[in-house]
Amino acid sequence: MSLAAPNAFRLLLGHEFRLYLRSGSVKGISLVFLIITQVLLHLLALAIALATRSPQARLPAGLDTGLVMLSSGLFAMLLLMVSRSLAGAVQSLYTRGDLDLLLASPVDRRAVIGVRMAALALTVMMEVALLVWPFANVFVLFGRVAWAKAYLLIPAMALLATSIGLAVTLLSFRTLGPKRTRLAVQVLAVVIGMGMMLAVYLPGALRDGPSRGPVYDGVALLAQHPGGWRDLLTAPAQWVMNGYLPTAAFFLAAALLFATTIHLVGDRLVTTLTTITGGGTRRIAARSTGELRIRGSFRTLVILKELRLIARDPFLVAQILQQSLMVLPISIVLWRSGAESGLPIPWFAVIVLAGGLASPLAWLTVLAEDAPDLLASAPVSRAALVRAKIEAALLPVLPICLLPLPFLLFSWPWFALCTSFCATGAALSAALLNMRNPVARRRDSFKTRHKGSAGRGLLEVVSLAFWVLLCVGLVLGARALAGWR
């Protein structure tokens, strides 16, 4: 017996949404929280609308800057959506365990895939729409009717981004294979997301003179740029500003592209999904050694095991990469704030990076043990085991701690030593903080590892701040005392 198409569509769409609402990213976000956030965003929009009623307050520096700002915003939103759709496509392809069930049911396979991708586009859209539409609601009420285009523009961008995301995922699957696709696509999603953030932040951060906020500064800098760049940057905004027809045409084109993507890749996608979700048949073989090689002390084996478990988990690699990239804006802030001192101040970011990496790695090695009973039943002391696990967590961080030495030892020896010392201290402190009230968790709860232990998260920040300040104190103190350099 086959479900009638409208019933199947409704059932599948409800299923997708239920799963999405219970997934790690939104689980725990209640309806009350959502309503409160929406009310606050509307209030914020209202405040902005009131504050920018006078015409000269609306655009930061003339029409060009306004157009560049709009274009930048559109680009940023599209990149964010592409990043989100890539991550969502990977989750649909790999993480969910229900595809076998759905594809084995009498529901049309294309309907299953179509609904899954439509749900992906819808979630991508809603994540941005919930932030933008409150502003559109208020601004339209205040007579800025052009903002009504946001109701078409954001769905259109979500459809475009999801089409791009699906195409990239499938292309990656075909060229890299299922194993590497997951890593590649997740890393790409992180890089795009972070790249977008940096693209917005960097131009303003690098600009000299008084600042009116990084986004404003960045946009103003781009608006001043002569020639083709400015034209390119203002084109999307001009397209959007030019009446309602181009926006409606963009929406229709995006919807057509999305439908074409689903139609063109549908069968291949089904094949891909069934191959990947074959579960038991998907076996990943390491390089064959021919003979068994069981070597090394207990400590070495524990360290090797921990490093292998982290390196072979694309989700963790992507998350750790994301944490590493987060340090870039911090180093820019340090650079700007320390520009007058004549010191290589951005190197202080190494301390933040070391501490920021050591903490999740220690959490993974110590608290997120997959087989705690195996270790507890082994004839080894817990202290030795924990020591080895901490060593495993710190080993990948050590090169980062030592990074200032080869670069700065000859030009700024004291600075290099202090930075390396404090980075090591920050890493060690962050790792050891995981020993405080340890509660065993599953590795897949990595993103929510601070849940239920907010105190530890706060202590990590305090500890990082302490090591950075100590380093600043050591460097500036020595300079003041000895007239160094």
Partner 1 sequence: MPTTTSALRIEGLRKRFERPAVAGIDLTIEPGEFYGLLGPNGAGKTTTLRMVCGLLKPDAGRIEVFGVDVQERPREAKELIAWLPDDPLLYDKLTVTEYLAFVAGLWQMDTTVAARNARALLERLDLWAHRDERCEGFSRGMKQKAALAGALIHDPKLLILDEPLTGLDAAIAREVKDLLLERARQGCTIILTTHIMDVAERLVDRIGVIQAGRIVAEGTLDELRTRAGRDQATLEELFLQLVGRPGPQPT
CB of 379 to partner 1, least distance (A): 4
CB of 79 to partner 1, least distance (A): 31
When the beta carbons of 228 and 280 are compared against partner 1, the nearer one is: 280
Rule CB under 8 A: choose which of 21, 40, 253, 378 binds partner 1. 378
Binding flag, residue 376, partner 1 (CB under 8 A): yes
CB of 311 to partner 1, least distance (A): 9
In the range 297-326, which residues lie near partner 1 by CB under 8 A?
297-298, 300-302, 304-305, 308-309, 312-313
CB of 183 to partner 1, least distance (A): 13
When the beta carbons of 302 and 352 are compared against partner 1, the nearer one is: 302
Binding flag, residue 375, partner 1 (CB under 8 A): yes
Binding flag, residue 381, partner 1 (CB under 8 A): yes
Secondary structure letter of residue 346 according to DSSP: G
Question: Length of the chain in residues, anyone?
Answer: 485
In the range 88-147, which residues lie near partner 1 by CB under 8 A?
none
In the range 273-302, which residues lie near partner 1 by CB under 8 A?
279-289, 291-298, 300-302
Rule CB under 8 A: choose which of 373, 383, 406, 454 binds partner 1. 373
Kindly indicate which of the ranges 29-37, 149-157, 210-218, 366-374 contains the residues binding partner 1, using the contact rule CB under 8 A: 366-374
Both tokens assigned to 264: 């063109």
Both tokens assigned to 54: 């006078």
Binding flag, residue 208, partner 1 (CB under 8 A): no
In the range 224-283, which residues lie near partner 1 by CB under 8 A?
279-283
CB of 269 to partner 1, least distance (A): 22
Q: What is the DSSP string of 114-147?
A: HHHHHHHHHHHHHHHHHHHHHHHHHHHHTT-GGG
> By the 8 A CB rule, do 411 and 358 touch?
no
Secondary structure letter of residue 286 according to DSSP: P
When the beta carbons of 156 and 320 are compared against partner 1, the nearer one is: 320
Please give the backbone phi and psi of residue 72, each rounded to the nearest 5 degrees, phi first: -60, -45
> With the CA atoms of 61, 65, 66 and 70 taken in that order, what torsion angle do they form, in degrees rounded to the nearest 10?
-150
| CA–CA distance, 268 with 273 (Å, rounded to integer) | 8
Binding flag, residue 439, partner 1 (CB under 8 A): no
Q: Is 107 left (phi over 0), alpha (psi -120 to 50) or beta?
A: beta
Q: Helix, strand, or coil here: 354?
A: helix
Kindly indicate which of the ranges 165-173, 241-249, 338-346, 365-373 contains the residues binding partner 1, using the contact rule CB under 8 A: 365-373
Binding flag, residue 54, partner 1 (CB under 8 A): no
Q: Which of 167, 184, 189 is nearest to 81 (CA)?
A: 189
> By the 8 A CB rule, do 441 and 368 touch?
yes
> With the CA atoms of 147, 151, 156 and 158 taken in that order, what torsion angle do they form, in degrees rounded to the nearest 10?
110
Secondary structure letter of residue 364 according to DSSP: I
When the beta carbons of 228 and 279 are compared against partner 1, the nearer one is: 279
From residue 374, alpha-carbon distances to 48, 224, 378, 442, 446 in Å are 59, 63, 6, 15, 22
Kindly indicate which of the ranges 160-168, 379-387, 389-397, 418-426 contains the residues binding partner 1, using the contact rule CB under 8 A: 379-387
Residues near partner 1 (CB under 8 A): 279-289, 291-298, 300-302, 304-305, 308-309, 312-313, 370-371, 373-381
